[in-house]
């Protein structure tokens, strides 16, 4: 099955929570800044308020980025709206991100159980299935969202299926696991403790199984260059400015959709 989310030829540059050197992550200002640099792929997270509104927000609590406020899940949208990320920026809803940057493709990490159903509802409402990669460390949350969708959307494996793929890819089972777990992509750190995950052989095995490999979170240009040389399909970075420079030097920036995907 073809997933239009992947229509841009790799490697993909993914701006982690948008781009803000001032710490205004997951705000419309940060997302627009990344788009202005040429990023067509934005990484974000979603959490649900007490009254069921899906936010583009990473942490369980407002405190780190807004200075105070407490757990997101105990607050209404009205209460969340009083907070300011970095002292200046309002926390956007996921629907605002989806509609205000209509050309962006979104890597969406589902952070709570309620968010799985609400994400599916919003993707159906806006017919945004082709624009989103559904991800979560929890395969349960990820699959719960995928099962609710009226049409299929691309997905990246959660932690359990990722671990199984890393262990069983040498046995040629990566493709079987991907079909079972309904994912087309693995998003992994280069290392997990002493274990080096991303090697040329691992990337090749994933490619043979039809899986893309995206590496997070890569902020050093030398690491970006080295990983791209290994053949990875995407890099997730806080330093969208540096990643854009690296990809530009390679002649693959700004990100373009493939000719066959254009109307």
Residue 109: strand, helix, or coil: strand
Number of neighbouring beta carbons within 10 Å of residue 167? 11
Q: Tell me what pLDDT residue 263 has.
A: 38
Q: Is 207 a catalytic residue?
A: no
pLDDT band with cut points at 50, 70 and 90 for residue 261: very low
**Whole-angstrom Cα distance, residue 249 to residue 233?**
17
Q: Given a cut of 50, is residue 262 above it in pLDDT?
A: no
Q: Tell me what pLDDT residue 20 has.
A: 98
Report whether the peptide linkage leading into residue 254 is cis, meaning its omega lies within 30 degrees of zero: yes
Render pLDDT for 53-104 as a digit per residue (tens, 0 to 9): 999 999 999 999 999 999 999 999 999 999 999 999 999 999 999 999 999 9
Task: Tell me whether strands 212-215 and 234-237 are parallel, antiparallel or unpaired.
Answer: parallel
Q: Is 214 a catalytic residue?
A: no
Query: Would you list the domain boundaries of the chain?
Result: 10-254
Helix (H) or strand (E) holding 47: strand 41-48
Q: 3-state SS string over 200-227? A: HHHHHHHHHCCCEEEECCCCCHHHHHHH
Give the mean pLDDT of 37-42. 97
Q: Given a cut of 80, is residue 123 above it in pLDDT?
A: yes
Render pLDDT for 233-242 as a digit per residue (tens, 0 to 9): 999 999 999 9
Q: What is the CA radius of gyration of the chain?
A: 18
Q: Tell me what pLDDT residue 129 has.
A: 98
CB-based contacts of 39, cutoff 8 Å, min separation 6: 13, 14, 15, 19, 104, 240, 244, 254, 255
Q: Given a cut of 90, is residue 226 above it in pLDDT?
A: yes
Percent of the chain exceeding pLDDT 70 equals 97
Q: How far apart are the first and last CA of the chain?
A: 19
**Contact (Cβ atoms closer than 8 angstroms) between residue 52 and residue 25:** no
Cα three-residue angle 26-152-218, rounded to 5 degrees = 35
Q: Given a cut of 60, is residue 254 above it in pLDDT?
A: yes
pLDDT band with cut points at 50, 70 and 90 for residue 260: very low
**Whole-angstrom Cα distance, residue 24 to residue 251?**
29
Report CA torsion sign: 6, 12, 17, 18: negative
pLDDT band with cut points at 50, 70 and 90 for residue 258: low
Render pLDDT for 142-185 as a digit per residue (tens, 0 to 9): 999 999 999 999 999 999 999 999 999 999 999 999 999 999 99
Q: Tell me what pLDDT residue 249 has.
A: 96
Number of neighbouring beta carbons within 10 Å of residue 259? 8
Render pLDDT for 106-116 as a digit per residue (tens, 0 to 9): 999 999 999 99
CATH of 10-254, one of 3.40.50.2300, 3.20.20.190, 3.40.50.720, 3.10.310.30: 3.20.20.190
pTM equals 0.95
Q: Given a cut of 80, is residue 256 above it in pLDDT?
A: no
């Amino acid at each position: 099955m073809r997933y239009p989310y992947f229509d841009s030829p790799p490697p993909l540059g993914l701006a982690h929570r948008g781009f803000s050197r001032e710490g205004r992550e997951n705000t419309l200002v940060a997302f627009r800044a990344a788009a202005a640099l040429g990023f067509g792929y934005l990484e974000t997270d979603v959490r649900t308020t007490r009254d069921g509104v899906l936010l583009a927000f990473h942490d369980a609590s407002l405190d780190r980025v807004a200075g105070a406020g407490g757990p997101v899940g105990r607050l209404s949208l009205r209460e969340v709206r009083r907070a300011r990320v970095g002292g200046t920026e309002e926390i956007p809803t996921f629907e605002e991100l989806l509609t205000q940057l209509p050309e962006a493709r979104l890597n969406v990490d589902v952070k709570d159980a309620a968010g799985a159903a609400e994400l599916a509802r919003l993707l159906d409402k806006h017919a945004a299935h082709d624009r989103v990669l559904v991800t979560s460390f929890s395969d349960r949350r990820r699959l719960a969202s995928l099962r609710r969708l009226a049409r299929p959307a691309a997905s990246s494996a959660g932690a359990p299926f990722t671990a199984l793929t890393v262990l069983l890819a040498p046995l040629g089972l990566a493709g079987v696991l991907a079909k079972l777990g309904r994912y087309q992509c693995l998003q992994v750190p280069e290392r997990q403790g002493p274990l080096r995950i991303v090697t040329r052989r691992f990337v090749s095995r994933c490619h043979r199984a039809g899986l893309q490999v995206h590496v997070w979170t890569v902020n050093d240009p030398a690491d970006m260059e080295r990983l791209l040389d290994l053949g990875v399909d995407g890099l997730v970075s806080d330093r969208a400015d540096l990643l854009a420079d690296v990809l530009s030097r390679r002649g693959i920036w700004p990100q373009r959709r493939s000719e066959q995907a254009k109307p």
